[in-house]
Amino acid sequence: MTAMTRTWGRMTLAGKVLFTVVPILLVLTLGLIVLVVVAGKPIVDFLAANLWLVRFVVAATAVLLVSVPFAFLIMYMEMKIIALMNLRIGPDRVGPYGSLLSVVHGLKVLMKEDFSPTGADRLVFTLAPIAVFMATIMGMLVLPFAPGLFGADMEIGLLYFFGVTGLSVVGLLMAGWSSFNKYSLLGGLRSAAQVISYEIPLTLSVVGLLLLAGTMSLNTIVLNQAGWFTDWYVFQQPLGALIFFIAATAEANRTPFDLTEADSEIVAGFATEYSGMRFGFFFFAEYVNVFVVSGLIVTLFFGGWNAPFAWPEAWAVHLTIDPGSLGIGLLFALLIVPPVLILALAAPFFLLRSSMPWWQALIIGFVLFNLLIGAAVTGLAYVSWPWVAGLAWFLMKSYAFVFLFVWMRGTLPRVRIDQLMGFAWKWLLPAALLNLFVTAAALVVVHPK
Amino acid sequence: MTNIWYIVGFMVAGVSFVFLTIGAAWLISHRNRGDVHKGLPYESGIDTYGDTHGRFGLSFYIYALLFVAFDIEVIFIYLWAIIFRAAGVDIGSLFVSMLVFVGILLLGLAYAWRKGVLTWR
Percent of chain A with pLDDT over 70: 94
Closest CA to A291 of A398, A407, A412: A398
Query: Who's near B113: CB < 8 A, 6+ residues apart?
Result: A425, A426
Same structural domain, A218 and A344? no
With 80 as the cut, is the pLDDT of residue A437 above it?
yes
Spatial contact of A80 and A91, defined as CB atoms under 8 Å apart: yes
Asked if residue A306 and residue A325 are part of one domain, the reply reads no
Cβ neighbours for B42, distance < 8 A, ≥ 6 positions apart: A181, A183, A267, A272, A273
In whole angstroms, give the CA distance from residue A50 to residue A210: 34
| Residue A99 to residue A211: CA distance in whole angstroms | 43
Q: How many CA atoms lie within 13 A of A329 on its CB side?
A: 6
**Selected residue with higher pLDDT from A399 and A415:** A399
Q: Indicate if A205 and A350 belong to the same structural domain.
A: no
Mean pLDDT across the stretch A396-400? 92
CA B42 to chain centre: 27
In a domain, A95, yes or no: no
Does the residue A50 lie in any domain?
Answer: no
| Residue A279 sits in the same domain as residue A319 | no
Stretch A410-426: mean pLDDT, rounded?
83
Give how far Cα B36 sits from Cα of A117, A118, A318, B32, B41, Å: 10, 9, 72, 12, 11
How many beta carbons lie within 10 A of that of residue A44, not counting itself? 11
Residue A172 covered by a domain: yes
Q: How confident is the model at residue A297 (pLDDT cuts 50, 70, 90)?
A: very high
Instruction: Average the pLDDT over A4-29 and give the result.
Output: 80
Q: How many CA atoms lie within 13 A of A220 on its CB side?
A: 15
Residue A326: which pLDDT band, with cuts at 50, 70 and 90?
Answer: low
Calculate the average pLDDT of chain A: 83
Rounded CA-CA distance B44/B48 in Å is 9
A124 and A204 together in one domain: yes
pLDDT level of residue A263 (50, 70, 90 thresholds): low
Q: Which amino acid is at A160?
A: Y
CA A215 to chain CA centroid, Å, is 24
> DSSP E strands: which ranges in A288-428?
none
Helical spans, DSSP H, in A138-262: 157-165, 168-178, 182-205, 207-213, 218-224, 238-251
A214-223: average pLDDT? 86
Question: What are the CA-CA distances from residue A351 to residues A233, A343, A356 (Å)?
Answer: 55, 12, 9
Partner residue facing A118 (CB), from B3, B39, B75: B39
Distance separating alpha carbons of residues A241 and A431, to the nearest angstrom: 12
- Residue B58 is given by DSSP the state -
On whether residue A303 sits in a domain, the answer given is yes
Contacts of A439 (CB under 8 A, 6+ apart): A207, A208, A211, A212, A237, A240
Task: Check whether residue A306 and residue A365 sit in a common domain.
Answer: no
Q: What is the domain partition of chain B in residue ranges?
A: 1-31, 58-121
Give the distance from residue B113's alpha carbon to the nearest chain A alpha carbon, in angstroms. 8
CB within 8 Å of chain B, chain A residues 382-441:
417-418, 421-422, 425-426, 429, 433, 436-437, 440-441
Within-domain flag for A19: no
In terms of Cα–Cα distance, which of B106, B118, B104 is closest to B64?
B118
How large is the average pLDDT for residues A86-101?
85
pLDDT tens, position by position, A59-73: 888 888 888 899 999
Sign of the dihedral defined by the CA atoms of residues A112, A113, A117, A122, in that order: positive
- Average pLDDT on A226-250 reads 87
For residue A301, being part of any structural domain is answered with: yes
B85 touches chain A (CB under 8 A): yes
Backbone phi and psi for residue A149, each to the nearest 5 degrees, phi listed first: -115, 85
Q: Give the mutation candidate from B82, B104, B105 for the A interface (greatest A CB count, under 10 A).
A: B82
pLDDT exceeds cutoff 90 at A403: yes
Q: What is the pLDDT of residue A292?
A: 92
Side-chain-facing half-sphere of A200: CA atoms under 13 Å: 29
Domain extent at residue A332: 315-384
Looking at residue B1, its pLDDT comes to: 45
A90-98: list long-range contacts, CB under 8 Å, 24+ apart: none
- Write out A323-346 in H/E/C secondary structure: HHHHCCHHHHHHHHHHHHHHHHHH
* Region label for A416, one of left (φ > 0), alpha (ψ between -120 and 50) or beta (otherwise): beta
- Based on the domain organization, do A147 and A269 belong to the same domain? yes
Of B71, B78, B119, the CB nearest to A210: B78
Q: How far is residue B39's CA from residue A179's CA, in Å, rounded to a whole number?
A: 11
Residues A202 and A304 in one domain: yes
Q: Find residues 206-235 of chain A whose CB sits inside 8 Å of chain B.
A: 207, 210-211, 214-216
Q: Is residue A332 part of a domain?
A: yes
pLDDT tens figures, B42-94: 776 677 776 667 666 666 677 788 888 888 888 888 888 888 877 677 778 88
pLDDT at A397 over 70: yes
Count of domains for chain A: 2
Residues A127 and A233 in one domain: yes
Same-domain check for residues A319 and A429 = no
For residue A247, give the nearest of A204, A292, A284 by alpha carbon: A204
- A277 lies in the same domain as A342: no
Q: Which of A234-238, A344-348, B116-120 has the lowest mean pLDDT?
A: B116-120
Q: Is residue A23 part of a domain?
A: no
Q: How far does B70 lie from chain A, in Å, by closest CA?
A: 7
The rounded distance, in Å, linking the Cα atoms of B54 and A92 is 47
Size of interface A-B (CB pairs under 8 A): 202
CA A360 to chain B, closest CA, distance in angstroms equals 46
Same domain for A188 and A244? yes
Q: Judge contact between A117 and A111, C-beta under 8 A.
A: no
Q: Counting Cβ atoms within 10 Å, is residue A29 exposed (0-12), middle (13-18) or buried (19+)?
A: exposed
